Amino acid sequence: MGCSGCSTGRGCSTTTSGTPAGCRNNGSCGSGGCNKLNVFDWLANMELPHGQEPFDAVEIRFKNSRKEFFRNVNKLPLVVGELVAVEASPGHDIGTISLTGELVRMQMNRKGVKPDAPDLKKVYRKAREADVEKWQEAQQQERATMMRSREIAVNLGLQMKIGDVEYQGDKSKAIFYYTADERVDFRELIKMMADEFKIRVEMRQIGARQEAGRLGGIGTCGRELCCSTWLSDFRSVTTGAARYQQLSLNPIKLAGQCGKLKCCLNYELDGYVEALKSFPETVDIESKRGRARHQKSDIFRGLMWYAYADDPGNFIPIKADKVKEIVEMNKRGEKPEELTAHVVQAVVVKEHDFENVVGQDSLTRFDQQKKNKKKKKKRPSANAGAVNAVGGIENPNPNPNPKPQQRRDNRPQQQRQPQQNKPPQNQGGQQQNNPQPKQNNKPRRNNGPRFPRNNGGQKPTPPPAV
């Protein structure tokens, strides 16, 4: 089952006992759940003054980002994360407690809801097991209902997109959220859906940003979308915000998943506007050499780049204060000798690097580093430089793959037995009558004594002494 508050499939934020998961701080931390539009209750662990009753209204969250306020007329001991049955029209609905206490009063004032409003709906009771089972069955039907309603809308030729369906807890009503560019006459659609699903149908039009907030997703920054986690006030975003921040007017990079300009373009806009107040107007300046045109500006470093018409590839960085002086000189009809006299002496862009300040391993410890490894010299074999007893020719090149040599004899010199090389054999394996080898240009190799193979696994016996 998905989370009761957003249906993201990441599990519910309450345990089997009804208490919220996470750090168990009365559910105020919100960790362990979906963290969708959560509000940190920093008054959760504070006791009320003696004789003061807690605020009788609670905030309840339904599927995705829908939140409403209800009156706790029965004074039930409610905590964040509990499922409750609340009043609906008609019937009842199942929701999750998202906020309690005095902080609810502040939220109602923020959203323009009067705390003493007589039309505030009521909290009936804590959800029973039968209520939860019926509510879960309704949630499982939402996707199939949405796909079927889309087919009906297409058959009717309506220019609209049904993005989400939310069933009421008692399965008597469903809310269909849709987006459309123009006004849609969906009276026939409501009749057909009521006959198809046997429920009461309510249509709600939402914008593209609200649709993205209900569906959720990951932004280009690598975090969850702001509209689905904490942002509830959707302000208009224009291309002027991108121009102030000197961003490329590329709709692919500036648009979010909703197809509109990203909401984060407004986050730092005030800082850029305040910094631009110290800059002069972006006009051309003149010197005795000629007219220079403005190319770009670095707002936070206070630099402006200019380039002459005859040398457009050479950008000249000048401080914004110096540009103001040159503009005033041009207004008086004066011209400086050369713009290079006002050039910043050193314009160095410092590249940020990660330093090992707390003793971590190097970030490049797995990178392959080129090392000039010297080739190891081959050790000369025991027969290198020896004189061939048969041919009388010195063997300067040792055998690259020598056969296993005889074990080292640690006995005294007097007790050692002299070794004798066997005479060379022909291809047939028989000894030649003439022990003298043929004279060849290639020197013969002396690999030491050879022992006959012993298939029995016994230790080979050395040749007899001569």
Q: Which two tokens stand for residue 162?
A: 């049904």
Neighbours of 345 (CB within 10 A): 5
- pLDDT value of residue 287: 87
* pLDDT score for 436: 55
Please list the pLDDT of the chain residue by residue as tens digits (466 residues): 345 555 454 444 444 444 445 455 544 554 445 556 777 888 877 888 887 888 899 999 998 778 899 999 998 999 888 999 999 988 899 999 988 988 999 999 988 898 888 889 999 999 999 999 999 999 999 999 999 999 999 999 999 999 999 999 999 999 999 999 889 998 999 999 999 999 999 999 998 998 988 888 899 889 989 888 888 888 889 999 998 998 888 888 899 988 899 999 999 999 999 988 888 888 888 888 888 888 888 888 888 889 988 888 888 888 888 888 888 888 888 888 877 766 665 555 566 565 555 555 566 666 666 555 555 555 655 544 444 444 444 444 555 555 555 556 566 665 555 555 555 555 444 444 555 555 555 555 555 555 555 555 555 566 666 5
Give the per-residue pLDDT at 348.
Answer: 54
Q: What whole-number distance in Å separates Cα of residue 288 and Cα of residue 265?
A: 41
**What's the rounded Cα separation, in Å, for the pair 307 and 330?**
17
- The confidence score (pLDDT) of residue 385 equals 47
Cα gap 112→66, rounded to integer Å: 16
Distance in angstroms (rounded) separating the CA atoms of residues 181 and 227 = 21
Tokens of 99: 């906020």
0.75 exceeded by pTM: no
Nearest to 201 by CA among 191, 215, 210, 212: 191
Structural tokens at position 459: 């230790």
H helices of 286-423, where?
Answer: 320-331
